A and B are shown apart, each in its own frame.
Chain A
């Protein structure tokens, strides 16, 4: 049977890359003693898969890992066993069982929600109202946002409009979930819900780069913004975006 584990990553742990996080979890699971299933063959490995990898330097409260178990254990027991083995600034948020036919986390990710804040607020002397106004022109009133995206195969033109599902700019007072590397609460937070996964993977800093470019400001993408993933989403039977966490059930 398959279980889905939701975890968060914050603080210093954001500098630990995806491959190292995978190795870390293999060891965590081994230490926890939960009955994970191993592959056959000369070098058996744990059956474990991750949703969309998080880049180095990003924090998240919604990361996912699916594992296969050899026997049923209550969700709460798994949660406690794994939590006991975690380092600081990595936490298990939930453990749920997946329906038999559920697609794995990696294949089912359709979108991610992010909050972005300035790394160096002094470089961006724009008021919230000003930014909101620019956003209406860039996003709300636009029928298409054509930009050039660099891929491994070369450059291609994409329309960002249908790939950005939500785009808001809000006061930091109203947001709880963001990268807290800066000790002061951010004044301005960019909230983005954007296409993620193997088909149309758009990075949130890429969208913000084009937003700022639309009124003549050059940003350095990852060097300009703290980026925090709030959650990862998939589509339900009706095509609505729901959290990956809502696919499973507690046991």
Chain B
């Protein structure tokens, strides 16, 4: 039988053993003795979450196309297995070969959200690999991080050997070739490899840089330790998306993954420029995949997986220029034999309502709007172009088409927010309900249900709001209470519902998002005191984090609540994402002082700097 790393007794003792087996449909099996490089790709969360992530599937496909590389997968063992592995001293293993991770050449860890940081330490610890990069020896794997959190890698810099900044399709081959070459010449040393790697485009090796701090704790200087190491690291961007590897035979898990469907990535980047949104800045310029390529992928992937659903992936699908052609193709050519189309948050208009009425059961489905802020003033500050008229017209058309459920997403705690802005959230919801009850009673579908959800705003690196202060937990909850009280005082309150996000995890997320290298001590301390799966509310222990911060002298006042100076050296300033710091400053000023909208990229170029990549929307229609 197939080799398994865990014994039958353990597999029978733990919850959901199917997480740890490998052997799924479309899994790549290679003979490890026939490759030069063994690569373990890791999503530091539980299997069902990690298997839903498209980025890893793309890299898995791309790396396995090389005959000299075998890329396998690994996810975080759930706390029940974690305990057993610690108790029985069982080293963490990759799913495909079930071999120990510590024998691999590379472990690539995708960093999708800050609250997974203690899970990274769990992966290293269970793999029996030194947690701190400085303690690793020649035969330990190279630990490499990628994904959105690498746009400020500093809080976890001391745990990683390398961060890959940007899109994996561009520089991985050169990095792997370099590694292979140094091994073949039998002169491999970890330090020399890392030194050479740091000269490759997009490759950031934390130990090649030194940071000094001012007395007030802010950064004095951030510099390479060798002359031949570049002072800035340029984000890598794949300009022609049609040329990139795509997993047309993605792995199909046995367990129901969060994303149990074919995922079609239609574009990268976003033309909108919302000022709170990191993805909207760090993935510029907007680039589309061509319609013909997508049609081919859709058919091939449905055939190779047997999934009964297909979904589109992008930051703003409505902005894909050939969306009607693509959606009509999916409905006409793919929606046979019970295949469903799941539409991601589309802008609500006549087109999307028409499409939704074809692919969804109107009675069961709800409409989603993300106004992000309740008042027009606040929406101008965040550069969210959506107006109240847009929302009421869209909702009105939908109500007339038979829908009666609406979901609204907002943020609280945005820069310059006043009580009036907070109260505008339930007022907008109430106006939508009023619009519903304008429809004659015999033509509407019972009561309407308007659900508002608020999350608390977290300032992120490489956004125009990167300098903004956060509030203390109590202040967030006070703001949520204002929304809640206002809602209850309204005429249509019985048709309205309100949910709000946890406040303590928000503040911590803010700390980790904008932290510097000193923060790693607190993360280590939190892990040592038992924190893992912080993104799961059942496992999040705020008091342990508070203790860890206290013990290591990491203060929320400094990292979260402080208004940063526009001229301060930020921990992530050494990364060049293409969008300039001057643009961010301009946008910050337009937001908080002028409170005006900046046009989207298609309407007018705002000179953000992404044009330097030489393609995408910046050149659309200009040739």
Contact = CB atoms under 8 A, between A and B. Distances in A.
Interface in B12-51: 12, 17-18, 21-25, 27
Contacts of A44: 337-338
A88 interface: yes
A163 interface: no
Given A10-B1, A38-B337, A89-B2, A119 B8 contact: yes
Contact of A17 (B18, B304, B305, B361): B18
Interface stretch (B191-199, B251-259, B536-544): B251-259
B308 A87 contact: no
A89 B21 CA distance: 12
B249 to A, nearest CB: 10
B interface majority secondary structure: loop
B85 interface: no
A13 interface: yes
B386 interface: no
B1 A223 contact: no
Interface in B66-125: none
Contact of A12 (B23, B256, B338, B340): B23
A30 B361 CA distance: 23
A43 B338 CA distance: 6
Contacts of B11: 15, 57
A97 B305 CA distance: 27
A15 B21 contact: yes
Residue in A26, A43, A87, A89 whose Cβ sees the most chain B Cβ within 10 Å: A87
Interface residues of A, number: 35
B136 to A, nearest CB: 32
B554 interface: no
Interface string B297-312: 0000001111110000
Given A16-B254, A28-B306, A222 B12 contact: yes
A23 B8 contact: no
A20 B21 CA distance: 14
Contacts of A226: 8
Given A12-B2, A12-B23, A16-B18, A27 B307 contact: yes
A205 to B, nearest CB: 12
Interface in A80-95: 85, 87-89
Given A30-B308, A31-B305, A31-B306, A45 B21 contact: no
A42 B9 CA distance: 44
A27 B305 contact: yes
Residue in A15, A42, A88 whose Cβ sees the most chain B Cβ within 10 Å: A15
A89 B12 CA distance: 18
A208 B29 CA distance: 40
A230 interface: no
B4 interface: yes
A24 interface: yes
B306 A15 contact: no
Nearest to A33: B303
Contacts of B306: 26-31, 85
Contacts of A43: 338, 340, 361
Contacts of A23: 254, 256
A87 B21 contact: no
Contacts of B337: 30, 38, 44
B357 to A, nearest CB: 12
A197 interface: no
A56 interface: yes
Contact of B23 (A13, A46, A223): A13
A11 interface: yes
Interface string A122-148: 000000000000000000000000000
Contacts of A17: 18
A184 B252 CA distance: 33
A103 interface: no
A42 B361 contact: yes
Contacts of B17: 15, 56
A15 B18 contact: yes
A180 B25 contact: no
Contacts of A16: 18, 21, 254
B25 A27 contact: yes
Contacts of A57: 8, 11-12
Nearest to B6: A15
A181 interface: yes
Interface in B327-345: 337-338, 340
13 contacts: A10-B1, A16-B21, A20-B255, A24-B254, A27-B252, A30-B307, A31-B305, A31-B306, A43-B338, A87-B25, A87-B27, A89-B1, A181-B8
Interface of A: 10-13, 15-17, 20-21, 23-24, 26-31, 38, 42-46, 56-57, 85, 87-89, 119, 180-181, 222-223, 226
